[in-house]
């Protein structure tokens, strides 16, 4: 059909669904590497903000503030904007679906990763286990 397109993704992990000019729209579904015990690093994007919208399930976005991990529970259909330069990661429930909007040029080349310490990994796990209190 002319003038309208539909995109859908239900598999595990991240998939870019669409881009137009400088913007990319992707979906992130549950993936085992984002279980709290499997997270080893946080990343930041140097050129752009990154937007997250929880469509289904549960998700917590974690940011790094002065070496401390701070968690924010996402609410369905609420926009969460992570500013450029902010280190972040996320944990998703097995039924989660997260919409991601970012600049098309966002890549490993213009992003940084830092590996987290064992104490920070424990913070991520504790926050996830207590997410209903956030």
pLDDT of residue 2: 86
pTM: 0.91
Q: Is residue 115 part of a domain?
A: yes
Task: Count the domains in the chain.
Answer: 1
Q: Is residue 26 part of a domain?
A: yes
Note the pLDDT tens digit of each residue in 46-69: 999 999 999 999 999 999 998 899
Residue 48 belongs to what domain range?
A: 14-133
Note the pLDDT tens digit of each residue in 12-38: 999 999 989 999 999 999 999 999 999
pLDDT of residue 73: 98
Q: Is residue 92 part of a domain?
A: yes
Q: Does the CA dihedral 3-14-57-52 come out positive or negative?
A: negative
Q: What CATH number is associated with residue 29?
A: 2.60.120.10
CA separation for the pair 21, 19 (Å, rounded): 7
CA separation for the pair 79, 53 (Å, rounded): 5
12 exposed, middle or buried (CB, 10 Å; 0-12, 13-18, 19+)? Answer: middle
- Give yes or no for a contact between 112 and 43, defined as CB atoms under 8 angstroms apart: yes
Q: Is residue 32 part of a domain?
A: yes
């Amino acid at each position: 059909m002319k003038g309208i397109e539909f995109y859908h993704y239900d598999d595990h992990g991240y998939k870019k669904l669409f881009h137009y000019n400088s913007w990319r729209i992707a979906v992130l579904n549950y993936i085992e590497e984002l279980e709290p015990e499997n997270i080893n690093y946080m990343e930041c994007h140097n050129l752009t903000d990154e937007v997250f919208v929880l469509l289904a399930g549960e998700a917590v976005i974690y940011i790094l503030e002065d070496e401390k991990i701070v968690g924010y529970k996402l609410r369905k259909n609420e926009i969460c904007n992570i500013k450029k330069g902010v280190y972040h990661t996320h944990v998703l429930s097995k039924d989660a679906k997260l919409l991601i909007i970012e600049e098309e040029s966002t890549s490993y080349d213009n992003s940084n990763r830092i590996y987290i310490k064992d104490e920070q990994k424990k913070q991520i796990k504790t926050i996830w286990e207590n997410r209903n209190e956030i």
